[in-house]
């Protein structure tokens, strides 16, 4: 699985003008299931993100996790993280099929919640609008294959 994580002051996802999920300080997690990904990889990724120390401590060092700062996560499905960009038009053939992608996305969000991080979500497969205020900015890419 792949995830692009952004430390945020706030983030929101809407569909057709209706707010589906929003958080204050925490993480915006764009997540993509790849072909062959498993529930174990979703669980591993969620556990890693829950423990990732990218929030500032009292010494102004990135040394605290989202749990440590009582932050939340906005989890949004993002199949375009699977983009293959050899040419001018991206291909997405390495992304998981929609049914597997939805199952793994939901598993990831549930596991992150079980790890003690309050989770808001978008809607899998929907045309979503995501707004955020990136804090730092801090943006980190994680791939379970890496």
Q: Which of 125, 140, 37 is nearest to 78 (CA)?
A: 125
* Residue bearing tokens 């045309």: 127
Residue 146's pLDDT is: 54
> Which residue range forms the structural domain that includes residue 128?
2-140
Q: What confidence tens digit (pLDDT) does each residue in 78-126 have?
A: 999 999 999 899 999 999 999 999 999 999 999 999 999 999 999 999 9
pTM: 0.95
Residue 146 lies in a domain: no
| DSSP letters for 93-144 | TTBPPHHHHHHHHHHHHHHHHHTT--EEE--TTS--EEEEEEEEEEEEEEET
79: Cα separation from own chain's centroid: 11
Q: How many domains does the chain have?
A: 1
18-75: pLDDT as tens digits: 999 999 999 999 999 999 999 999 999 999 999 999 999 999 999 999 999 999 999 9
Find the CATH number of the domain harbouring 38: 3.50.80.10
Q: Average pLDDT of the chain?
A: 96
40 domain-assigned = yes
Active site residues: 78-80
Taking the C-alpha atoms of residue 42 and residue 52, their distance in angstroms, rounded to an integer, is 15
């Amino acid at each position: 699985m792949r995830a692009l994580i952004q430390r945020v002051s706030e983030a929101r996802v809407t569909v057709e003008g209706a707010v589906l999920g929003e958080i204050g300080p925490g993480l915006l997690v764009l997540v993509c299931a790849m072909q062959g990904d498993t529930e174990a990889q979703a669980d591993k990724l969620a556990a890693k993100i829950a423990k990732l120390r990218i929030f500032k401590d009292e010494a102004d060092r990135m040394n605290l996790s989202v749990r440590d700062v009582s932050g939340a996560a906005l989890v949004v499905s993002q199949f375009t993280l699977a983009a293959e960009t050899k040419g001018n038009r991206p291909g997405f053939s390495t992304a998981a099929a929609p049914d597997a992608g939805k199952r793994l996305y939901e598993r990831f969000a549930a596991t992150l919640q079980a790890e003690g991080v309050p989770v808001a979500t978008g809607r899998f497969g929907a045309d979503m609008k995501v707004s955020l205020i990136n804090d730092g900015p801090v943006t980190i890419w994680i791939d379970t294959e890496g």
